[in-house]
C-alpha cells in the first residue's frame, strides 16, 4: 500500500508538472514578437530600482524647466516709463507645479529641508567616513568639537591633507583626513577620539564657534517658526545650551547667516519674483500681479493683491481704505506700500501690497493705478493717508471720485510738534473723535 500511495503521488506530481510546462509554453507563445521590448542581455526588471522612492510617478508634482519666462517684456502703456512683466494666464496645466530657469540657482535649494538636513545629515566623525568636500569636513569637525565641548587646533592643512588636534597640545586627541585621488572627496583615515586632557567645557571664543557654525545650529528655529532671530536670543541660546559666551557682533552675523540658509541669498530673492508671481497667478486665478523694471532691466516696482483680498474687500469690508508706505530694513533698502481696511469686527484687513526703491509721486502713481485695476472704485470709498507731498495729487488723479482724508494719528503728531500745550492736544483728540459737525466745530473754535 505504501508503494501504491507513492506511485499515486508521483503520478499526481507528474501531471502537475506537465500542466506547468504547458502553461509556460502558452506564455512563451503569447510573448513572441515582444523581443524588442527587452533586448537580449538586459534585465526585464530591476529589483534594485528605487523609482518608487525617488523616481517620477504619475501623481508627483512635475518640474519642467522649459517654461519661458516673460521677464523684462516691454510695455508702452507703463505710466512711469518702466517695463511691465507679463504674467501668464494659461491654466491648461493647473495642478502641475513647474520650475523655471534662474541665474545662479544651483547655489541654493528650493526644497523645504528638515532640521537634520539643514545641519548636515550626520555630523558624527569616525574612521573611514567620507565627505563631499574639504569645507564639509571642516564644518563637521567644528560642530563635533562644539558638541563635545572642546577647542580644536589645526595641525596641518593643505590641498591633500587636513589634520586637527585638541586645543591642549599634550592631548592625544587626533583626527586626520586626506583627499581621494579622484574627485573632491575627503576621507577620515585616523581618528583617536579619547582625550587625555581635562575638558572643562568650551570656554571663551574658540574658532570652532564661528558665526557660520552658530547660524547653522540655530537655523532650524528660524525655519520652523519663520520669526526672525534676535542677537540677544542667540546669545542666551548659546550660553544655556552650549556653554558658549558669544559676543553681540558674532550673534548678529550668525543671525544673517541663518537667514541666508533658510531663505536664500538676499541678492537672488528679487530674481525669483517674476517666477513666483507667475506660479501665484497660475495657481490662484484672479490674483492681480505686476512687476516693473527700468531701462537697464533692473527691478523697480512690484504689486500684488490676492484673490481672497479682492473678493473680501468688495463684498463685506468697510470702504475706508488706508494707504501708507514703510521703509524696509534689509540689506537692500526699499519701501513697502500697504493698503488696508477694517472688517466688521474692526480688525485690520489687508488689501494690497507693493515694493519700490523709493517713495515718490511716480511710485505712488504706478501703485495706485495697479490698485484701481485690482479693486476698482466702489461707491462711497474713502481714502486715508498721511501728509506725504505726492499722495494728495496722485489720489486726485487716480481716484477723482473718492474722498481723501488725512490720518488722525499723523495730524495729532504734527499738532503736538507745533503746539507744545497738552490741553490743546487733548481738545484736538476730542475734536478728532467727534461724529457730529456741530461738536467738531465747537472744539476747533476753542482751539482757535
Lowest mean pLDDT among 1-5, 132-136, 294-298, 391-395: 1-5
The strands making up 348-356's β-sheet, listed across from edge to edge, are 83-85, 288-293, 299-305, 348-356, 334-342, 320-328, 382-385, 403-406
Residue with cell 495657481: 283
pLDDT tens, position by position, 14-26: 444 444 444 444 4
Chain-centroid distance of CA 277 in Å reads: 14
Do residues 141 and 163 make contact, with C-beta atoms less than 8 angstroms apart?
no
The strands making up 161-166's β-sheet, listed across from edge to edge, are 130-131, 186-192, 174-179, 161-166, 152-157
Do residues 301 and 362 make contact, with C-beta atoms less than 8 angstroms apart?
no
Do residues 132 and 185 make contact, with C-beta atoms less than 8 angstroms apart?
yes
- Give percent of the chain with pLDDT exceeding 90: 11
Handedness of CA 75, 80, 81, 85 (dihedral sign): negative
Cα–Cα distance, 108 to 219 (Å, whole number): 15
The gap between the terminal CA atoms of the chain, to the nearest Å, is 130
Cα–Cα distance, 84 to 290 (Å, whole number): 7
Backbone angles phi, psi at 432, to 5 degrees: -65, -30
The stretch 146-163 carries a mean pLDDT of 86
pLDDT tens, position by position, 411-434: 777 777 777 777 777 887 788 777
pTM over 0.95: no
Domains along the sequence of the chain with CATH: 121-263 (no CATH), 268-406 (3.30.420), 412-447 (no CATH)
pLDDT tens, position by position, 36-56: 433 444 433 333 333 333 333
**Strand-pair category, 161-166 with 186-192:** unpaired
- What single DSSP character describes residue 344? T
Contacts of residue 115, defined as CB under 8 A and 6 or more positions apart, other chains included, come to 220, 223, 224
pLDDT of residue 198: 66
Greater model confidence, 337 or 115: 337
Do residues 231 and 252 make contact, with C-beta atoms less than 8 angstroms apart?
yes
Cα–Cα distance, 38 to 35 (Å, whole number): 6
The cell numbers describing 410, all together, are 499723523
HSE of 413 in the Cβ direction (CA atoms, 13 Å)? 7
Average pLDDT, the chain: 72
Residue with cell 483728540: 429
Greater model confidence, 434 or 136: 136
pLDDT of residue 260: 86
Amino acid at each position: 500500500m505504501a508503494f501504491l500511495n507513492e506511485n499515486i503521488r508521483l503520478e499526481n506530481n507528474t501531471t502537475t508538472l506537465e500542466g506547468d510546462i504547458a502553461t509556460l509554453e502558452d506564455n512563451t507563445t503569447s510573448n513572441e514578437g515582444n523581443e524588442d521590448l527587452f533586448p537580449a542581455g538586459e534585465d526585464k526588471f530591476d529589483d534594485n530600482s528605487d523609482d518608487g522612492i525617488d523616481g517620477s510617478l504619475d501623481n508627483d508634482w512635475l518640474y519642467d524647466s522649459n517654461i519661458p519666462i516673460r521677464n523684462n517684456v516691454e510695455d508702452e502703456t507703463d505710466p512711469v516709463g518702466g517695463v511691465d512683466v507679463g504674467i501668464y494666464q494659461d491654466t491648461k496645466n493647473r495642478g502641475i507645479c513647474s520650475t523655471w530657469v534662474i541665474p545662479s540657482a544651483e547655489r541654493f535649494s528650493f526644497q523645504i529641508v528638515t532640521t537634520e538636513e539643514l545641519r548636515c545629515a550626520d555630523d558624527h566623525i569616525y574612521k573611514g567616513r567620507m565627505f563631499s568636500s574639504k569645507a564639509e569636513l571642516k564644518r563637521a569637525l567644528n560642530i563635533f568639537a562644539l558638541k563635545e565641548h572642546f577647542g580644536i587646533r589645526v595641525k596641518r592643512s593643505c590641498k591633500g591633507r587636513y589634520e586637527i588636534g585638541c586645543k591642549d597640545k599634550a592631548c592625544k586627541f587626533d583626527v586626520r583626513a586626506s583627499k581621494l585621488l579622484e574627485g573632491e572627496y575627503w576621507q577620515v583615515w585616523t581618528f583617536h577620539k579619547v582625550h587625555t586632557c581635562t575638558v572643562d567645557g568650551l570656554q571663551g571664543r574658540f574658532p570652532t564657534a564661528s558665526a557660520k557654525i552658530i547660524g547653522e545650529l540655530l537655523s532650524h528655529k528660524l525655519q520652523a517658526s519663520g520669526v526672525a532671530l534676535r542677537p540677544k536670543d542667540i546669545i542666551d541660546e548659546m550660553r544655556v545650551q552650549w556653554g558658549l559666551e558669544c559676543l553681540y557682533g558674532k550673534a548678529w552675523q550668525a543671525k544673517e547667516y541663518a537667514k541666508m540658509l533658510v531663505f536664500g541669498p538676499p541678492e537672488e530673492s528679487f530674481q525669483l519674483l517674476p517666477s513666483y508671481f507667475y506660479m501665484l497667478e497660475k495657481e490662484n486665478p484672479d490674483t492681480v500681479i505686476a512687476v516693473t523694471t527700468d531701462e537697464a532691466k533692473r527691478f523697480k516696482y512690484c504689486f500684488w493683491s490676492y484673490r481672497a483680498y479682492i473678493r473680501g474687500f468688495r463684498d463685506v469690508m468697510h470702504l475706508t481704505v488706508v494707504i501708507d508706505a514703510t521703509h524696509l530694513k534689509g540689506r537692500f533698502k526699499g519701501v513697502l506700500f500697504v493698503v488696508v481696511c477694517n472688517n466688521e469686527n474692526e480688525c485690520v484687513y489687508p488689501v494690497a501690497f507693493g515694493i519700490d526703491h523709493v517713495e515718490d509721486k511716480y511710485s505712488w502713481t504706478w501703485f495706485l493705478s495697479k490698485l484701481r485695476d485690482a479693486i476698482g472704485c466702489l461707491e462711497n470709498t474713502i481714502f486715508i493717508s498721511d501728509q506725504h507731498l505726492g499722495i494728495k495729487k496722485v489720489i486726485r488723479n487716480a481716484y477723482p471720485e473718492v474722498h481723501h482724508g488725512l490720518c488722525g494719528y499723523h495730524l495729532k503728531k504734527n499738532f503736538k510738534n507745533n503746539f507744545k500745550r497738552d490741553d490743546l492736544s487733548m481738545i484736538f483728540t476730542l475734536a478728532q473723535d467727534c461724529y457730529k459737525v456741530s461738536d467738531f466745530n465747537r472744539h476747533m473754535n476753542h482751539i482757535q
